[in-house]
Structure 1
Amino acid sequence: MDIRHRNNVSVIGRHDGPTLVLAHGFGCDQNMWRLVAPALAERFRVVLFDYVGAGQSDLSAWTAERYSSLDGYAEDVLDVCRELDLRDAVFVGHSVSAMVGVLAAAREPERFGRLVLLTPSPCYIDDDGYRGGFSKEDIDELLESLEANYLGWSGAMAPVIMGNPDRPELGEELTNSFCRTDPDIARVFARTTFLSDSREDLASVAVPTLVVECAEDVIAPREVGTYVHAAIPGSRLVTLDATGHCPQLSAPGATAEAILAFLEDEGR
């Protein structure tokens, strides 16, 4: 199978330096990195891709069986890494892709030298001693609404996820991104995302890791960033002076600076 075509892989930036792999979150595609990628590409080789079912990927390769768990998305990441023969790469995962990166690194650790987890959440549902930000009833209601009327759900939820109500164009962009996703594929990815629990996987991370959170994020509140940081030995936590769940769009300069500072420090 042509992985480059299947996952719409593109490579930009310096081809003689370390490689960064940028992975998008639910309802998005690689276009969500467009404001951050140029700054990173000035110093690194940057790999962008779409998960199967997203963006310009080959939709015919999508199956509910494979993508009903985060393992299927981790396999997409590893397929791209194998295709490009990546070793010691930096994986930058947004939202649910942060946990996808944790899973991929555990399977083939030689391919990953560092992780950047951007607004991560290992579990969205509150539990004893753990605040994920949602009750089980909240998530059930969210999924029921999504399954009943995906386009309506997208129009209502995307601006909430994005935050920054004073910049409505950001919420509109995320709404449009959600609406471009096939509803059947989105329903499966949503259940995979919001019902996942990767908390036990965090202890397996054995590479330098940066956890990036926003000062205000309704999807991944500050308690989640604190939890992820505490669960990954030796990790670094950075709190951006930004709101919403997608700082690569709402605060691209600060996001790029946090990533570059981490890579510079770890490269010394």
Structure 2
Amino acid sequence: MDVLKRNNVNVFGKGTQVIMFAHGFGCDQVMWRYITPAFEEDYKLVLFDYVGCGNSDTGQYNEDRYGSLQGYAQDVLEICNALNLENVILVGHSVSSMIGMLASIQQPELFQSLILVCPSPCYINKPGYIGGFEEKDLKELMEVMENNYVGWASFLAPVVMKNIERPELSQELEKSFCSMDKEITGNFAKVTFFSDNREDLPKVKVPTLILQCTQDDIASDKVGDYVHNKLSKSVIYHMKATGHCPHMSHPEETIKCIQQYLQAEDTLA
């Protein structure tokens, strides 16, 4: 029960097959509200907040534990074990794609499949790999975050969200950034943007769907294709959706893609 309180876990839905939704950096479980109604009738849905996000118990934050994505993956596993979950379909947005992958590597028997929304194993350009950012640029962004947190949130939110014709989406993301503990969010940002999980990709044995958006300045087409090529049991859907948060900006297409994949999985089973 401490785990469920720590991560503000919410369980609902009329089905027995579990879908767990894991939010991205600077977000919380509320961001899935456009998606979950489509699955409530047929699935058991599990939503949660990472420690430091949303309505989680911030007092449980431990800098050593959450100094790497493994600490967040441990949260996912502890939630699964606390609820006695099995055959979990994990839908992870952005950094939660990597967190979900790490959890599946540790306990593959818990997961039926992974659905990775805008994944990136490494945001920094490396020799032979285009992550999208130079390391110095990300370090400068972290400095802005430390010195002018509100300005950082105001700059980053529209870059992440895109869809400038719907400013309310960027405003919601900016508000989400600003509502969280500055120090915890800063640490989570460093862990998110400076992690390199490329070597973990071949270790994933769970069937995986990759949802790749167009005009995603955070995780480009090249990154999505890289992930697809490294995951032995993956398929990739190139979406018409733009930006890095299709579950908010283009929920209908996101729902359709997830349903199409799950139906295909059921057919194969």
Same fold, TM exceeding 0.5?
yes
Decide whether the 8 Å contact of 1:88 with 1:113 is kept in 2.
yes
User: Is the 1:208–1:266 contact (alpha carbons within 8 Å) kept by the matching residues of 2?
Assistant: no
User: If the length of structure 1 is used for normalisation, what is the TM-score?
Assistant: 0.98
Q: Which amino acid aligns with 1:98?
A: S
Which amino acid in the other structure matches residue 164 of structure 1? N
Between 1:150-159 and 1:217-226, the stretch displaced more is 150-159
Matching residue of 1:73? 72
SS of the residue 1:41 aligns to: coil
Q: Which runs of 5+ in 2 are unaligned?
A: none
Q: Which residue of structure 2 aligns with residue 260 of structure 1?
A: 259
Structure 1 position 85, deviation (Å): 0.6
Secondary structure of residue in 1 paired with 2:39: helix
Identify the residue that residue 7 of structure 2 maps to in structure 1: 7
How far 1:193 sits from its partner (Å)?
A: 0.2
Distance 2:19 2:177 in 1: 25
Partner of 2:167: 168
Residues 161-214 of structure 1, C-alpha deviation per residue, up to 9 Å, x if partnerless? 100111111100100010111101110000000000001111011111000010
User: After the TM superposition, which of the residue ranges 138-147 and 215-224 deviates more from structure 2?
Assistant: 138-147
Q: Secondary structure at the match of 2:86?
A: coil
Amino acid at match of 1:121: S
- Structure 1 residue 44, shift from structure 2 partner: 1.1
- How far apart are residue 91 of structure 1 and its match? 0.7
Distance in 2, matches of 1:46 and 1:63, equals 27
The reply on whether 1:146 has 2:145 as its aligned counterpart is yes
Residue equivalent to 2:18:
19
Corresponding residue number in structure 2 for 1:64: 63
Q: Distance in 2 between matches of 1:40 and 1:127?
A: 39
Identity, in percent, stands at 50
Q: CA deviation at 1:42?
A: 2.3
Q: Deviations over 1:235-255 (max 9, x none)?
A: 100011011110000000111
Contact 1:211/1:235 (CA < 8 Å) preserved in 2? yes
Structure 1 unaligned runs (5+)? none
The count of aligned residue pairs is 267
TM-score by length of 2: 0.97
Offset at residue 93 of structure 1 (A): 0.5
Distance in 1 (alpha carbons) for counterparts of 2:9 and 2:47: 6
Between the aligned partners of 1:120 and 1:42, the Cα distance in structure 2 is 28
